[in-house]
Amino acid sequence: MNENLFIGSEALPGLGTLLSRPAVSQVFVLLDANTARCCLPLVEGQLPAGYTPIEISPGEEFKTLATCEAVWSSLTEAQADRYAVLVNVGGGVVTDLGGFCAALYKRGIAFVQVPTTLLAQVDASVGGKTGVDFLGFKNQLGVFQEPLAVCIEPRFLQTLDPRQLKSGYAEVIKHWLIADAEAFARNRSIGVMVDDWTPLIRESVALKQRIVAQDPLESGPRKLLNFGHTVGHALESYLLTQPGREILHGEAVAAGLVCEAWLSHHKGLLSAQELDQIETFVFSVFEKVQFVTLETEAIADFARQDKKNAANSINCTLLEGIGRGVYNQPVTLEEIAASLRYYHRL
């Protein structure tokens, strides 16, 4: 678990202190076009003179090895050594891809995550997971590598449009559903009408850190954090293959929360009342993801590549009740397709 976690007003000064260490030879800053325009001005005052920006295209479709090659080429051309630091300023695509690039370049250089979306602040940047998509499958390639630091500045959320902000909220809801029933009960009447995100971010990050500390390499309890993601990743991956129908990660996860809550009820783990509470809350925040019934088998087929699977078994994280996740629950492709049909009918 990373000890250099800065949240709130201390985040960017903490970044400046880390980068001013004599042991740091060079500083590179990975951005996409959006964060270069909207977020770099907030960070720039903490960067050393002579830092090198590396800009990539925004969007999940660029979370690929081809983009990694461009980043590695920039580092190589600038003669970055093993004492260089890569600062990843952006959402989940930038932090995932940047961490992956840093972990592999010259067998590993230090990197700092500066997440600028709610999704990245409460989930993607915390826990040491890095990775890129491959052959249409989400995060198919990746490594576990802790960053030098994570610097979470909630002011970045003011640069987001409402859709991006809501996308991150899906991961917050997931944390409540797997491990904090009281927070779910407290917040489901509030939704995204939040004036100050800092306390909620602190609470959500602390919950994730407690789980990760028990199981850094995801062989057991850390799998709880994948609730909503077996179906969510399948849906997201499928729609990425359909030009013009791409959705945000959090929108796919929100759909996955409903589908996997239904699977929990279907298997006798979750009451009908709790399923209704989850559905009502999710749909109070998120619009329904559009697909047709005939697509459900094709969507479900993407779950064959889910990283929690073992042998020929699709392993899912389900709920034994709100606030009580349970991992390694076998489901079939037919059950996943059935959950998607249930979601489609709602």
**129 an active-site residue?**
yes
> CA dist 207 to 122, 123, 199, 323, Å?
10, 10, 12, 12
Q: Is 222 one of the catalytic residues?
A: yes
Annotation marks residue 236 as catalytic: no
Please tell me which residue in 218, 251, 274, 335 is annotated as part of the active site.
Answer: 218
Is 229 an annotated catalytic residue?
A: yes
- Which of 174, 175, 188, 229 is catalytic? The answer is 229
Instruction: Please give the Cα distance from 275 to 170 (Å, whole number).
Output: 16
Active site residue: 3, 107, 312, 345, which one? 107
Catalytic residue among 138, 175, 223, 233: 233
- The answer to whether 2 and 54 have CB atoms below 8 angstroms apart is no
The answer to whether residue 37 is catalytic is no
Helices marked H in the chain = 11-19, 33-38, 40-43, 65-77, 92-104, 118-119, 162-179, 181-187, 198-214, 229-240, 249-266, 272-285, 296-301, 333-345
* Residue at 48: amino acid letter: P
State the sign of the Cα–Cα–Cα–Cα dihedral 57, 123, 224, 258: negative
Answer yes or no: 233 catalytic.
yes
Structure tokens at 332: 């079939």
Q: Tell me whether residue 203 is one of the annotated catalytic residues.
A: no
Q: Which of 138, 226, 274, 315 is catalytic?
A: 226
- As a whole number of Å, the end-to-end CA separation of the chain is 40
Told to judge if 304 belongs to the known catalytic residues of this protein, a careful annotator would answer: no
Closest CA to 91 of 249, 205, 231, 256: 249
CA atoms within 13 A on the CB side of 346: 23
210 is catalytic: no
In single-letter form, the type of residue at position 282 comes to: V
* Residue 218 among the catalytic residues: yes
State the catalytic residue, choosing from 174, 175, 222, 308.
222
From the list 35, 37, 71, the residue with the least C-alpha distance to 54 is 71
The CA distance from 23 to 27, in Å, is 11
Nearest CA-CA partner of 226 in 263, 277, 282, 175? 175
For residue 324, give the 3-state DSSP assignment: coil
CA angle in degrees (0–180, nearest 5) for 212-207-92: 70
> Pick the catalytic residue: 138, 223, 249, 265?
249
- Of 171, 260, 274, 335, the active-site residue reads 171
Q: Which of 60, 63, 129, 223 is catalytic?
A: 129
Active-site choice (138, 166, 174, 208): 208
Residues designated catalytic:
107, 129, 171, 208, 218, 222, 226, 229, 233, 249
